[in-house]
Amino acid sequence: LALTSGIGWHLHATSDAEAASTELSLASDLDDAIATGDVYPLYQPKKNLRTGEIASVEALVRWNHRTHGMLRPDHFIPLLERAGRIASLTLHVVTCAIRDVERWRSRGHQVTTAVNLSATLLESTAFIDQLEDLIRGSGVDPRLLIFEVTESAAMHAPDVAAAALGRFKSLGVAISMDDYGTGQSTLTYLKKLPLDELKIDRSFVEFAHQNRGDAVLVRSTIDLAHELGLKVVAEGVETEECLKFLTSVDCDLAQGYLISKPIDAASIAVLLDIGARQ
């Protein structure tokens, strides 16, 4: 097993058998890692382009593994999905997010917080029941929560996904379509899912200020979303030029390294305090 450093540590298995055993051991480490606080969310702000305020944040999970070091979600999320452990991870992230929403609220900040939901989970009635019980039992205002789902995820059963999301929507939770533009039956999802927000994938946003084709796609997506009554978030904003372009085409919110990398809950509180004083 080789470890190479990138943004975090990434596991490279040298054989299929080794890969399978790494998967199993990581999946079986999950409960302990949750209990010891090694799995936790960071939060990345979504900035309102009209007011300049941090309108909401997105929870992005991190796993600081006791032997493998910092693991990236792109690596361990698919693995936990395959191992049938993604429900446990998600309930943990939602629990942390609710706790942090309450902490920010006690400092006078109402911050809507988004959590990513794997599409496969929307097909599990048991999971949907547990998640609903968690939200109801916590006493959090559900209007402070957003669930982000990807189009590809809901793909195989849009009607089932729509019914599950409809339950959260009637509680007051907002629903966001993630990675918009990268899926295959985008219009079906726009029609069927009870959406409030659409996040344009970074691959379209990145060069929109310098590439005419991308600019047209981004602008027309924003117009379409607005016609449907949805708010639009541009993800992966890294440059001032890009931000300027997005403002010029009436994009509602922007997220990306230019505004902030994902940071811990205490750092979000500091940003919110600064924003409130301006």
Could you tell which of ligand C2E, Ca ion, none binds residue 118, using a CB distance below 5 to 8 A set by kind? ligand C2E
- The rounded Cα 32 to chain-centroid distance in angstroms is 24
Neighbours of 25 (CB within 10 A): 11
Point out which residues pair with 3 in neighbouring strands: 11
Neighbours of 179 (CB within 10 A): 19
Could you tell which of ligand C2E, Ca ion, none binds residue 73, using a CB distance below 5 to 8 A set by kind? ligand C2E
Per CB under 5 A, does 151 bind Ca ion?
A: no
Closest CA to 152 of 128, 119, 122, 130: 119
Could you tell which of ligand C2E, Ca ion, none binds residue 215, using a CB distance below 5 to 8 A set by kind? none
Residue 215 or residue 258: which is nearer to ligand C2E going by CB? 258
167: which DSSP letter?
H
Binding site for ligand C2E (CB under 6 A): 44, 59-61, 72-74, 77, 90, 93, 116, 118, 178-179, 235-238, 256-257, 262
Closest CA to 201 of 224, 232, 225: 232
Residue 148 or residue 158: which is nearer to ligand C2E going by CB? 148
Strands 253-254, 39-48: pairing kind:
antiparallel
φ, ψ of residue 121 to 5 degrees: the values are: -65, -25
Residue 26 or residue 237: which is nearer to ligand C2E going by CB? 237
Residue 29 or residue 80: which is nearer to Ca ion going by CB? 80
Least separation, in Å, of the C-beta of 17 and ligand C2E?
26
Per CB under 5 A, does 176 bind Ca ion?
A: no
Per CB under 5 A, does 44 bind Ca ion?
A: no
Residues 6+ apart with CB under 8 A from 83: 23, 24, 27
Point out which residues pair with 138 in neighbouring strands: none
Could you tell which of Ca ion, ligand C2E, none binds residue 262, using a CB distance below 5 to 8 A set by kind? ligand C2E
Could you tell which of Ca ion, ligand C2E, none binds residue 257, using a CB distance below 5 to 8 A set by kind? ligand C2E
Among 23, 151, 178, 252, binds Ca ion (CB under 5 A): 178
CB 89 within 8 A of CB 30: yes
Could you tell which of Ca ion, ligand C2E, none binds residue 77, using a CB distance below 5 to 8 A set by kind? ligand C2E
Least separation, in Å, of the C-beta of 101 and ligand C2E?
15
CB 93 within 8 A of CB 41: yes
Task: Report the interface residues with Ca ion, using CB under 5 A.
Answer: 116, 148, 178-179, 235
